[in-house]
Amino acid sequence: MITHISFWVFAVVAVLSGAAVFWVNSMARASYALALSFIAVGLQVLLLHQNYIGVVTILMMVMEMAVMAVYMVMFMGMNPALMPMNMVHDKRHALAAAVGAFLLLAAGAVLIPWPARRGTPPAGVTVALGEELMGPKMLVMAVVGAVIAATIVAGVVLAAHRTRYDRLGDDLRRRPANDPQPGGVGR
Amino acid sequence: MPDSAVSAGSALAAAGILGLLAVLAAVLDGFLTARAAGGGPSGLSRPVGEVARLMRQRRRTTVAADTLLWRIGSAGLLVMALMIVTVVPLGEWTLFDLDVGVIWFNAMDVLAWAFVWLTGWGANSTHSLVGGYRFLAHGLAYELPLMFGLVAPAVAASSLNVGTVADAQQDLWFVVWMPVAFLAYGTGILAIAVWGPFTPALGTDIAGGVTAELSGVDRLVFQGGRYALLAAGAAFAVPMFLGGGAGPLLPGWAWALVKTGALLAVFVWLRRRLPAVRPDLFMEVGWVVLLPAVLVQDLLVAVVAVWRT
Amino acid sequence: MTLQTVLLVAAALFSVGLYGALSQQVVVMVMMGLELMLNGLIVAAAGFWWFLAPDPSGQVLLLVIIAAMTVEMAMGFAVATHLHRVRRVDMTDMAADLNG
Amino acid sequence: MGLTHSLARYAVRHTHVMVVEVPGHWLTRAAVERHILDRGWRLAPSPGDADVLAVCGTPRAQLAAVVTRLWDQMPGPRARVGIAAPHLVEAALSGAEDELLDVARQQADSRSRPDAPQSPDHDMGAAMNHGAEDGMSHSDHDAHAGHGGMTDEHGGMDHGGMQHAGHGGMDHAGHGGMNHGGMDMAPAGIPLARSGEDRDGLEMDVLHLRLGPALPYWPAGLVLRCSLQGDVIVDAEASLIDPAEHRSGYDAGQADALHQAARRCDNAAYLLALAGWEDGASRARRIRDSLLLDADLAGMTEDLDRLRRAVKRSWVLRWSLRRLRPLTDDDLTRQGLPSHLRGDTRDRLLSMLARAAADLAGSAVRVDRPRLVPLGSIADLVCGLDLGAARLVVASLDLEPFTATTEVVHA
């Protein structure tokens, strides 16, 4: 009973705060509304007995949204004053597409005769996930790890202004490096 | 849940214990501050007096503040602390015995990013915005070492459940053979509580930083949240590094409380001893020194764990 | 809480996200739309796993989705920073207009 | 009523005081600080935290306007005292205590204030995030200095969002850069920030912030007008507040060696407090107070020596202060700075304590006219630093209280 009630509460919170992302005027509120939506979804995933995934969703997404809000304040000069920002284009078509997608997906969800459950959930879901990842599905994890490492490198290259040649000189020998803000290690 | 009344009762008890620890921390801090200032009253009544003062004070708002997010931010730290203690075992009781308690702690500690930042930004004041920036700069440096620091005990105990981690330390406390991880964890706790060396976000040089515009009940909740976070962090360290409730004579819950109190006292005392670490300098230390050190620690722990099985 | 209801919630989240991704102008808001769509996907995948085939390998899919989200976000931030640096632009339309 | 009253009594025992020092009244300020700590009260870093506003000396036009603004920002219950000389401190603080306890008076005060925060001044130019709330800041606008009670002028206006009612569905694609700068967007009357080139090649918003004149641990009377990107100072301009007024109203007895030493300790306490080392700052402050009160020279010399050794030993302090705005002999000559400022900020802190010790020992090389720190060089020294580092550098300059000149500051 409690499970059902909380499922519906989380569902309503998730969808409403998701809608609020595009409803509120301030971008900071938008990103924290999205964070709230993710928290609700994470808790729903907890209810669906996937503790690790649920908590990790909350962890990752709150962090991301915190970063996103800072990003917007820094680059877009958002101050807390609620500036009405209505930056949409092609609102009608987008709305139509969204409603269409919802009807299609909802019809699918309700009308498709879903098969019965195969198998039973493992006793320790998280343990099973860990063993799966470090066993049969290790390739997936290895690939994901490599992709994330590549993302870090690519992201830094794209976003960074200065290269090591700017810091250390053309022959990379300058010590300490020429930084506008010296670091704390004294390299 | 058949015994939801029982769990509601124990939730209240846990919140009460956390509150008590926070008050004790504040008493100790008031005492140490008064002693350093020399002369004057002992400072032991400081927390009570501060509560009375802030309850009496008017709440202010600032021009064009995002009041909703600002208030959420200042109240958030307290909520975080309460959420953290739900997974901490006290003797044989745990409020919310989640099988991924360690990750739960991580999920809660990143909330500090949102809450402290919002408190700084929401007031629409330059000083508190700068405070928010400073917290994030610290955050970039402490967060990953903190997370990887918590990996070490989890690997050694082969579990993400906090109680299981505590039980795995019957022979040897984890703090003994993973000191670097413990150090990174302690650093992280001081940082999320914006405490001690990590106070530049609340620095007097920027008129109180994040707290510059807070007054009345908002300030009370924010400052109380900091003490509560410190207490919660100390409480979580006990099962992770300090052997949980293990100890002679006393029952488990008593040992857990004693250890928590001792660690909390150390945290409070550190504030007076250490100068602030400037965010711009600490950033490089976090990435170039702390993070690699913690990763090496994790590797060692993993090797030992594999070798033992 | 049945599979159908879980999927309905997922569909609603997905559609809201779709609306945002299509209608918003600012790069970051478009990214938020995409995130919301992936959010719906998480709910759906979690529902399928629990109600249809609760074996361990299904959870791996969810982890992959979350990893995809972080990668998308990180690259999004990097690209947006880059755009901001070279063109002073933070809107999709403007990035397209200036193209070439 | 009984409960409220005992709550109030308890609250007042832990009052927080914001101290504003009129240039030249540092002895009064030191006395106020000592009495505050003796009572178990605390110093407040911002008006938001303060119950009592203690003004040391009589502020003139510009500073008076700042004080008025600080007063407006105090949440209340609040009390305000002006203290003209060190021996009046005790009575003034007791008066403030009574005023805080006077419930009827505080209620009347509270009723007389507007519920909504005051609107900021409109002539501030482009600046995000700095309404009237910055508190410490912007007072020099002449348009402003004249009318302390700006509430009445602006209170009734509807700033909510009327400036941009027409912008609801604007088509941003046509606006070139979306820098907000050229647009007439000003929520609640605060124009949005304009952006400018920064050192990382990102166009960050430029904020304008005035450091001083009423900022904790800041040399009294100094005003530094900064342009900030994030928290990095890209441009600064230094001035003195009420420059013409500095000729009168000094605390007497500045010349003798004990006071010189006390002054050094005061500056060292500032620097240590800004570096976040509370114990060190308390110790420096206690030495200062002892120097001003009694003359147990031997004990003082020993305490000072111990503090100096502790500063030398602290590796976190060394780590955070070293390499911070190092000054070579060439820099000193070029900027016209006195020679004891050589080295980085840590060197300057140690030299400050060494000078105090020398003053005490009576072996100070007495220069008839001390070398002066030109105002302009203060601004030069902080450019390119972040706010925290800039505060440390300014504190490390070991400034004397401002004297009659407008161009230079004694060092």
Mean pLDDT within D26-44: 85
Q: Are A52 and B64 in contact (CB < 8 Å)?
A: no
**Bridge partners, D222 (sequence order):** D240
Nearest CA in chain C to D199: C85
User: D203 vs C81: CB contact, 8 Å cut-off?
Assistant: no
Q: Which pLDDT does position D253 carry in this prediction?
A: 45
Per-residue pLDDT tens over the stretch D208-240: 777 777 788 888 878 888 887 767 788 888 877
Touching status, chains B and C (3+ beta-carbon pairs under 8 Å): no
The token pair that represents B188 in the structure block = 């992280």
Last residue of a domain, one of A23, A48, A79: A79
What does the pLDDT read at residue B295? 93
Is the pLDDT assigned to residue A85 strictly greater than 70? no
Q: Is the pLDDT of residue C49 over 80?
A: yes
Domain residue limits at A160: 125-179
- Position A37 in a domain: yes
- The model's pLDDT over D7-16, given as tens digits with 9 standing for 90+, comes to 788 888 888 8
Query: Which residues of chain D neighbour C24 with C-beta distances below 8 Å?
Result: none
CB contact under 8 A, A80 and B284: no
Contact assignment for C9 to A137 by CB distance below 8 Å: no
Q: A181 at the D interface (CB within 8 A)? A: yes
Overall average pLDDT of the D341-361 stretch: 82
- Say which DSSP state D58 is in: -
Q: Do A52 and C59 touch (CB under 8 A)?
A: yes
What is the DSSP-derived secondary structure letter of residue D115? S
Of A156, D217, C32, D326, whose CA–CA distance to B208 is shortest? D217
Six-digit token pair at D301?
């010399």
CA angle D399, D401, D407 (to 5 degrees): 80
B4, pLDDT greater than 70: no
The answer to whether residue A29 sits within a structural domain is yes
| Distance (Å, whole) CA A58 – CA A43 | 8
Could you give the number of structural domains in chain A? 2
Residue B163 in tokens: 């109680």
Separation in Å, CA of D201 to nearest CA in chain A: 7
Q: Do B113 and A66 touch (CB under 8 A)?
A: yes
pLDDT for residue B178 is more than 80? yes
What pLDDT is recorded for position B185? 92
Task: Tell whether the model's pLDDT for residue D368 goes beyond 70.
Answer: no
Those chains having 3 or more beta-carbon pairs within 8 angstroms of chain D are A, B, C
Give the one of D172, D179, D201 whose C-beta lies nearest to C91's C-beta.
D172
Chain B residues whose beta carbon lies within 8 Å of the beta carbon of residue A42: 107
Which of D139-148, D354-363, D364-373 is least confident?
D139-148
Residues 6+ apart with CB under 8 A from B12: none
Which residue in D128, D126, D54, D142 sits closest to D90, CA to CA? D54
- Asked if the Cβ–Cβ distance from B63 to D132 is below 8 Å, we say yes
Distance from CA of B166 to the nearest CA of A (A): 18
A97 touches chain C (CB under 8 A): yes
The predicted pLDDT at position B296 comes to: 94
Tell which wins on pLDDT, C32 or D171. Answer: C32
Judged by CB atoms closer than 8 Å, whether chains meet at B36 and D283 is answered as: yes
Query: What are the residue ranges of helices labelled H in chain A?
Result: 2-21, 27-47, 51-76, 91-111, 125-134, 138-159, 164-168
How far, in Å, CA of D118 to CA of B272, rounded? Answer: 38
- Let me know whether A136 and A72 are in one domain: no
Are the beta carbons of B113 and A28 separated by less than 8 Å? no
Q: What is the pLDDT of residue D155?
A: 31
Closest residue by Cα to residue D272 from D325, D230, D310: D310
> Is A166 inside any structural domain?
yes
Average pLDDT over residues D106-119: 68
Question: Quick count: other Cβ atoms within 10 Å of Cβ D342?
Answer: 16
**Among A175-184, B80-89, D2-11, D222-231, which stretch is predicted with the lowest mean pLDDT?**
A175-184
Range of weakest confidence among B254-268, C2-16, D89-103, D144-158: D144-158
Domain boundary among A79, A106, A140: A79
- How far off is chain D from C31, nearest CA to CA, in Å? 19
Domain assignment present for residue A88? The answer is no
Same domain, A1 and A55: yes
Confidence at residue D179, expressed as pLDDT on a 0 to 100 scale: 35
Taking residues C27-50, what's their average pLDDT? 85
pLDDT tier at D172, thresholds 50, 70, 90: very low
Q: Which of the pair, C99 or A114, is modelled with greater confidence?
A: A114
Contact call for D38 and B39, based on CB within 8 A = yes
Indicate the domain borders of chain B.
4-308
Peptide bond connecting A115 to the previous residue in cis, omega within 30 degrees of 0: no
With an 8 Å Cβ cutoff, are B100 and A55 in contact? yes
Which pLDDT score is estimated for D363? Answer: 56
**Do D203 and C97 lie within an 8 Å CB cutoff?**
no
Confidence of residue D295 (pLDDT cuts 50, 70, 90): low
Residue A103 counted as domain residue: no
Whether A89 has a pLDDT exceeding 70, the answer reads: no
Q: Contact, A21 vs A30, CB < 8 A?
A: yes
Residues of D in contact with A74 (CB under 8 A): 204-205, 230
**A4 and A73 share a domain?**
yes
Residues of B in contact with A66 (CB under 8 A): 110, 113-114, 117
CA separation for the pair C27, A90 (Å, rounded): 15
Chain C with chain D: Cβ pairs closer than 8 A? 22
**Contact D173/A74, CB-based, under 8 Å?**
no
**pLDDT score of D1:** 53
Whether D310 shows a pLDDT value over 80: the answer reads yes
Interface touch D388/B203, C-beta < 8 Å:
yes
**pLDDT for the residue C93:** 54
Collapsing DSSP states into helix, strand and coil, what is residue D249? coil
Tell whether the model's pLDDT for residue B299 goes beyond 90: yes
Going from the C-alpha of A180 to that of each of B38, D207, D230, D384, the distances in angstroms are: 42, 20, 14, 8
Residue B294, pLDDT above cutoff 90: yes
Is D77 in Cβ contact with B214 (below 8 Å)?
Answer: no
Average of per-residue pLDDT across D150-158: 31
Choice between B203 and A79, residue whose per-residue pLDDT is larger? B203
Domain assignment present for residue A61? The answer is: yes
> What does the alpha-carbon distance between residue B38 and residue B128 come to, in Å, rounded to a whole number?
31
Does residue A165 fall inside a structural domain?
yes
**Mean pLDDT over residues A67-71, rounded?**
78
Strand pairing category for D203-211 and D222-229: antiparallel
Q: Which residue has the higher pLDDT, B91 or C78?
A: C78
Average pLDDT, chain A: 80
Measure CB to CB from residue C60 to each of A15, A118, A132 and give the nearest one: A132
Question: Which of A95-99, B94-98, D267-271 shows the lowest per-residue confidence on average (mean pLDDT)?
Answer: B94-98
D387 to chain C, closest Cα gap in Å: 24
Nearest beta carbon to residue A84 from set D129, D164, D232: D164
Quick check: A89 contacting D, CB < 8 Å?
A: yes
| CB-based contact B100 A181, cutoff 8 Å | no
Best of D175, D178, D179, D195 to substitute, by most chain C Cβ atoms within 10 angstroms, is D178
Q: Is A27 on the interface with C (CB under 8 A)?
A: yes
Least confident interval from A88-102, B178-192, B209-223: A88-102
Structural domains of chain D sorted by starting position, each given as residue range(s) with its CATH number in brackets: 2-111 (3.40.50.12280), 257-410 (no CATH)
The verdict on residue A142 lying in a domain is yes
- Residues of D in CB contact (< 8 Å) with C are 172-173, 177-179, 201-203
Contacts of C96 in chain D (CB under 8 A): none
Q: Domains, chain C, ranges and CATH?
A: 3-97 (1.10.287.3510)
In contact, C14 and A108? CB cutoff 8 Å: no
Q: What is the dihedral of CA C15, C16, C19, C23, to 10 degrees?
A: -170
Share of chain D above pLDDT 70, in %: 67
Report the gap between the CA of A33 and the closest CA in chain D (Å): 21
Find the CB nearest C16 among A19, A87, A106: A19
Chain D nearest-CA residue for B41? D40
Mean pLDDT computed over D289-305? 79
pLDDT per residue over D181-214, tens digit each?
333 444 444 544 555 555 666 656 677 777 777 7
What 3-state class would DSSP assign to D55? strand
Query: Looking at this predicted complex, what is its ipTM?
Result: 0.80
Q: Give the C-alpha distances (Å, rounded to integers) separating D84 from B186, D38, D98.
A: 47, 20, 19
Closest-CA distance, A55 to chain B, in angstroms, reads 6
| pLDDT of the residue at C100 | 41
Q: Select from A50, A79, A108 the last residue of a domain.
A: A79
Do the beta carbons of residue D283 and residue D47 sit within 8 Å? no
| Contact at CB, D133 and B63, closer than 8 angstroms | yes
Name the pLDDT band for B227 (thresholds 50, 70, 90).
Answer: very high
